[in-house]
Amino acid sequence: MPAKGAMSRAEFFNSLKMSYNFFSKRTRHPNIYIALIFALISMRGWMDFYEKGFRDMLEKRPPIKENGFERPSIVPGEMIVFMMLKLWWWSIDFVSKMTFEVLITPIGGIIAQYILTQMIFTEDPTVFDVVPSYCEYVITESSKAIAKIVRLLFVNMSNCFVQLCSDFYFIFVKDISPYKKNSLSFICFMVIIAFLKLYHLQKVFYINNEASDVNSEKEKQYIETMDLFPVVKMSGEEKKMMSRYSRTLNRWENLTIKGKVLLFSNDFVFNLLCDVVVSSITILYIANKNENSEFEMNLKDNCGEISNFNRVLVYIPNCFISAMKFYRDLAESVVLSQKLMIYLDYIRELKNEKIRISSFSESIEVKDLSYTCKDKLVFNNVSFVISRGSKVVLFGKNGTGKSSIFKLLLGFDKYRGTILFDGIELSRLCISDYRRLITYVPQDTRLFDESIYYNLAYGNSKSFKEIIEECKSMGIHDAIMSFPSGYNTGVGEGGKSINGGLKQKIFYTRAFLRDSEIYLFDEPTNNLDANHSRFLLEYIRSPRYAEKTFFVICHDRDIANEFPTKFRLDKECIEVVERV
């Protein structure tokens, strides 16, 4: 039975395939690069093999006696060849590492760009449920994990394979002692404890995975506290916020420490068992040699033989340690990379299978529309019709789902019922064509952290002159020009560097610059005074927008009563009323 948190074989290989695909995006001929890197790294491994063989050869040569002293039996030419090979190996090592790092360094950026592209161009409604802070955390951590997987597969694996071949060669071929069965018994023992160690590692992976999730929650709480800093200060709940953050921090610390303790104890038990067994087998070897009457007479030769036997035994755990370290690093990285999978499943809209549209000519008709959010019914069997060119206001109590109506009309979430656009079901339309006909202004008017001009020009192709004319019509040109940099003034993160009223006016000016067929405004007068609210209403009712369709959510009774068509929403229905 696999440990809790263990991944399936399919998930494991999917992560390896995903890592290869991202590496492939970095190069035109990835297989050529991989073959080259494998060759370079393998040379590095074979150099280790040659070095072991060279040292073993020197140890078996009888020493040369000169002037009463013994020196190793080696000629200068052999040493020069050995040093030249070492220099060649260092050069190969440098070239292979540099080549590979140049290739994998941009993988993080490639992943971030790919996921952002998938999320922006998808029409999957679940994309709107993505938590930005968690998404950023997953992309960062998974990018590191995928880069590590690529490094392990294309660098460490070839090197590890050659080293394993080298070690097993010295164990099975170079060991010509009559006690090879001791080595084979030790290998069987090592296989058993290696599998136990790998089984135990699954629990470590699960704990580390849980710790990374808690770390993401910790970072989210920190960002949330800073975003709501004025609310925290004014409510006097500083201690409560710190207590909440401390609890999450303690959870993360406890899980991290638990994972480290399990990992270190795992390594400690494995190494302890290896050392105990190696020592025991060596003692048995010496005891068996003691039974030989020639042992004491050839003490010097036998000490060398014991040393060689002990070295062969040490090769065995080194083989398994090298292989298990490779597996541990690979599996740990694969677990982290699995978090990325949820962001790779977004599918782009197949426009050829949808009905293409370019204009709005009749009406939007909603029939028996029901919406559930987090297993809670928001509204049920709502029906209404909005004709082309009409000016409609929607009002109702808080929590009745007014903003959710807009979300469903824009195709941002799933629903039960029917939404018809010019008699065509919304699901049959090319949604990107449909959205081009609509300008939507949400209740939370956040601007991009760019210049005023960038925010005004976003989403339309108007010239600078046309933008200035629209700003003059909306009465914000003078306010913008009062800044030292005018239209090049930065608005700050979310628009924090300018006042709320101007921020909202910039948002609505941008909306009118789009010159859409349909306008959806959610609480447009929230941050506006009475005069500017009245100005916005008159702007909507001007002859310029006589043929445009406006659907507005509004709590201001005076403003709402100015609209010719008024909808009141409750959980059961939308009804047309004379007055709010």
Digit-coded pLDDT (tens) for 261-279: 888 887 788 778 777 777 7
Long-range contacts of 345-353 (CB under 8 A, 24+ apart): 346/118, 346/119, 346/122, 346/124, 346/127, 347/122, 347/124, 348/118, 348/121, 348/122, 348/123, 349/121, 349/122, 349/123, 349/430, 349/431, 349/432, 351/430, 351/432
- Give yes or no: residues 218 and 118 share one domain: yes
Q: Does residue 374 form part of some domain? A: yes
- For the segment 67-74, the average pLDDT, to the nearest whole number, is 61
User: Please, which pLDDT band fits residue 387 given cuts at 50, 70 and 90?
Assistant: very high
- Note the pLDDT tens digit of each residue in 465-512: 999 999 999 889 999 999 999 999 999 888 888 887 888 889 889 999
Position 502 scores a pLDDT of 87
Position 15 scores a pLDDT of 63
User: Please, which pLDDT band fits residue 180 given cuts at 50, 70 and 90?
Assistant: low
- Give yes or no: residues 177 and 261 share one domain: yes
- Note the pLDDT tens digit of each residue in 101-112: 776 677 777 777
- Give yes or no: residues 506 and 521 share one domain: no
Q: Please tell me which residue, 315 or 208, carries the higher pLDDT value.
A: 208
Position 1 scores a pLDDT of 33
Whether pLDDT at 297 is above 60: no
- For the segment 56-73, the average pLDDT, to the nearest whole number, is 62
User: Please, which pLDDT band fits residue 298 given cuts at 50, 70 and 90?
Assistant: very low
Q: Does residue 567 form part of some domain? A: yes
Question: CATH number of the domain that 322 lies in?
Answer: 1.20.1560.10
Amino acid, res. 221: Q
DSSP string, 342-354: GGT---B--GGGS
Q: Please tell me which residue, 83 or 222, carries the higher pLDDT value.
A: 222
- Give yes or no: residues 121 and 153 share one domain: yes
Position 59 scores a pLDDT of 60
What residue numbers bound the domain in which 298 lies?
9-343
Give me the number of domains the chain comprises: 3
Q: Please tell me which residue, 200 or 36, carries the higher pLDDT value.
A: 200
- Give yes or no: residues 231 and 379 share one domain: no
- Give yes or no: residues 279 and 195 share one domain: yes
- Give yes or no: residues 535 and 494 share one domain: no
Position 57 scores a pLDDT of 62
Strand blocks (E) in 160-234: none
Q: How far apart are CA 323 and CA 316, in angstroms?
A: 11
Whether pLDDT at 2 is above 50: no
Residues contacting residue 258 through CB under 8 Å, at least 6 positions apart: 207
Domain stops at, among 285, 311, 343:
343
- Give yes or no: residues 455 and 315 share one domain: no
User: Please, which pLDDT band fits residue 72 given cuts at 50, 70 and 90?
Assistant: low
- Give yes or no: residues 320 and 354 share one domain: no
Position 517 scores a pLDDT of 92
User: Please, which pLDDT band fits residue 189 given cuts at 50, 70 and 90?
Assistant: confident
- Whether the Cβ atoms of residue 328 and residue 201 lie closer than 8 Å to each other: yes
Domain stops at, among 296, 320, 343:
343
